[in-house]
Amino acid sequence: MRRTLVASGAASALLLTGLVSLSATAAEPEGCHPTKENRPVCQAGSPAETATFLDATAKVKEPEHISLAEHVYVGPFAELIADDDAPISIGDESNVQDNVLILGARDGDSDSDSDDDGGRETVRGEGHAEPGVEIGDRVILAHGVSVIGPAQIGVEGNDIPADPAGDQEVFLSFSSQVDGAVLERNTGVGALGRVGPGVRLRSGFIVLPGKNVTTQTEADDPALGKVRLINEADVAFNEAVIEVNTAFAREYTRLYRDNPSNVRGVNFDPGHTEFNHDRNLPSFAGQEKRVPGFRNRLIGDLNLIDTFSRFSSVSGARISLRADEGEPFGVGLVDRMGDDVIFHALEEADLVVGDRVEYGDKVVVHGGGRVVVAGEPEEPTVVGDDVVLEDESIVFRSTIGDGSVIGQRSVVVGSELAPGTEVAPRTVIINGVKFGDVEW
């Protein structure tokens, strides 16, 4: 039932983003501080049912100024960069997915080669807050998101109090950005969307994919073409994502406690969830492997045609291929895989990628069923042979025909592209039609 709701809003469901609000002061956060002794489980002795889990590859700077509540999942290669003047806090049942960057303040030394800030200066305005990032309860930071303080996400709005009955989640979709802004509860940002300094995104609004919201007028008026109202499919999708990621916090904690090396490198998915029952290992050229010391995270029922040695030689760093929700993943011979590549899939969805595919840096390939004919089985996400996915491109719920090229910083959602299709850089394709351009 949940999947049906999501499919009915194909253009909107997974392109949501979350709510945010900014506080007036940079108060030191309370909660579990992810110091060395509190990683990967925070607090170290917490029961699995309430624990927060940080992947072993997650980078944490100045953990004494970072506060994590319960049931939080922090994924592979995420970065939480705080300092004494710019703390970070994350509320209950929120999640920080693969390769997310949370930077407490722009002037902070992130020790990162990320250039997500684009050199822009923070502008004081309606969404202004002191340095730091406050993330409320039930906020979803999807793969590749960046949040640059001062920012506050998923807290009460000026006029609308929190709804104790729920429906208040925030979703920041793939590679979106919140830069010096306030997002109230019950908001969202679409894939490769952005909310800029001084802007407050009010409850009930979602930034459309690729749009760059830089003024309060743009954030408040859907007629200007940069925001829309949230809908039931958005809410259903958010609730499903929260459910999955709180299960990850619990089950990755159990996987770690079974054997600490289980949560490193090439390894098991945690299993024991409603959406993924069994623990599986990746396979290379038909042979299952467990390599805890590998530099990248390859997890679960991931079946690569390459040998482990060849895959290692053609792949970069900070790569996260996670078959821990949807499965299995079939991956053909890799031509080249750049840094920060992410594979994932929704529950009950698989992912098929062909031979000789070239993956640029920060590519996201996300599986999910695509409804072509009502009442018929959903179509899987497929990337054909000899496809080029340029830097920062995103593919979700789509079939990409053989020999196609997806341009740099483009996103394709809910679409079937014919063989040989070329998508221009910075283009948003939804349901097979150009929706617009990526504006930043």
User: How confident is the model at residue 369, as a pLDDT?
Assistant: 83
pLDDT band at residue 21 using 50, 70 and 90 as cut-offs: very low
pLDDT value at 353 more than 90: yes
pLDDT band at residue 157 using 50, 70 and 90 as cut-offs: confident
pLDDT band at residue 158 using 50, 70 and 90 as cut-offs: low
pLDDT value at 436 more than 90: yes
Question: 125 is written with which tokens?
Answer: 């305005």
User: How confident is the model at residue 131, as a pLDDT?
Assistant: 81
Residue 406 CA to residue 133 CA, distance in Å, equals 33
Cis peptide, bond prior to residue 40, ω within 30 of zero: yes
Q: Which of 207, 203, 220, 126 is nearest to 161 (CA)?
A: 203
Question: 436 is written with which tokens?
Answer: 């617009």
Q: Do domains 2-237 and 279-437 have the same CATH topology?
A: yes
Check: CB of residue 91 under 8 Å from CB of residue 68: no
Mean pLDDT for the stretch of residues 276-301 = 98
User: How confident is the model at residue 159, as a pLDDT?
Assistant: 56
Output the CA–CA distances (angstroms, integers) from residue 208 to 11, 102, 144, 218, 254, in the order listed: 10, 22, 17, 11, 38
Residue 128 has a CB neighbour count (10 Å cut-off) of 18
Check: CB of residue 154 under 8 Å from CB of residue 20: yes
Of residues 386 and 2, the one with the higher pLDDT is 386
pLDDT value at 111 more than 60: no
Residue 404 has a CB neighbour count (10 Å cut-off) of 23
- The domain defined by 279-437 folds into UDP N-Acetylglucosamine Acyltransferase; domain 1 (2.160.10)
Mean pLDDT for the stretch of residues 59-88 = 97
pLDDT tens, 112-152?
433 333 333 433 445 555 689 999 999 999 999 999 999 99
Helix (H) or strand (E) holding 334: strand 334-337
pTM: 0.89
Of residues 8 and 413, the one with the higher pLDDT is 413
Check: CB of residue 248 under 8 Å from CB of residue 25: no
In the chain, pLDDT over 90 holds for what percent of residues? Answer: 81
Check: CB of residue 183 under 8 Å from CB of residue 152: yes
Mean pLDDT for the stretch of residues 64-86 = 97
Of residues 284 and 15, the one with the higher pLDDT is 284
CA angle at 79 for the pair 298 and 110, rounded to the nearest 5°: 135
pLDDT value at 7 more than 50: no
pLDDT band at residue 378 using 50, 70 and 90 as cut-offs: confident
CATH superfamily of 2-237: Hexapeptide repeat proteins (2.160.10.10)
Average pLDDT of the chain to the nearest whole number: 89
Residue 184 CA to residue 212 CA, distance in Å, equals 17
pLDDT band at residue 295 using 50, 70 and 90 as cut-offs: very high
Residue 247 CA to residue 252 CA, distance in Å, equals 8
pLDDT value at 259 more than 80: yes
Q: Is 37 helix (H, G, I), strand (E, B) or coil?
A: helix
User: How confident is the model at residue 10, as a pLDDT?
Assistant: 36
238-254 in b/e form (b: 16+ CB < 10 A) is: bbbbbebbbbbbbbbbb
User: How confident is the model at residue 129, as a pLDDT?
Assistant: 57
Range of weakest confidence among 15-19, 215-219, 353-357, 432-436: 15-19
Range of weakest confidence among 5-14, 262-271, 386-395: 5-14
Phi, then psi, of 43 in degrees rounded to 5? -65, 155
User: How confident is the model at residue 370, as a pLDDT?
Assistant: 78
Structural domain spans, the chain: 2-237, 279-437
DSSP-based helix, strand, coil % in the chain, nearest 5? 15, 30, 55
Cis peptide, bond prior to residue 282, ω within 30 of zero: no
User: How confident is the model at residue 126, as a pLDDT?
Assistant: 58
User: How confident is the model at residue 30, as a pLDDT?
Assistant: 72
User: How confident is the model at residue 156, as a pLDDT?
Assistant: 82
Q: Determine the longest span between alpha carbons in the chain, in angstroms.
A: 58
Residue 222 CA to residue 116 CA, distance in Å, equals 26
pLDDT tens, 312-340?
999 999 999 999 999 999 999 999 999 99
C-alpha atoms less than 13 angstroms from C-alpha of 21 in its C-beta half-sphere: 21
Check: CB of residue 415 under 8 Å from CB of residue 432: yes
Q: Look-up: residue for tokens 């948003």?
A: 428
Of residues 130 and 14, the one with the higher pLDDT is 130
User: How confident is the model at residue 309, as a pLDDT?
Assistant: 98
pLDDT band at residue 373 using 50, 70 and 90 as cut-offs: low
Q: Which amino acid is at 260?
A: P
Mean pLDDT for the stretch of residues 28-40 = 88
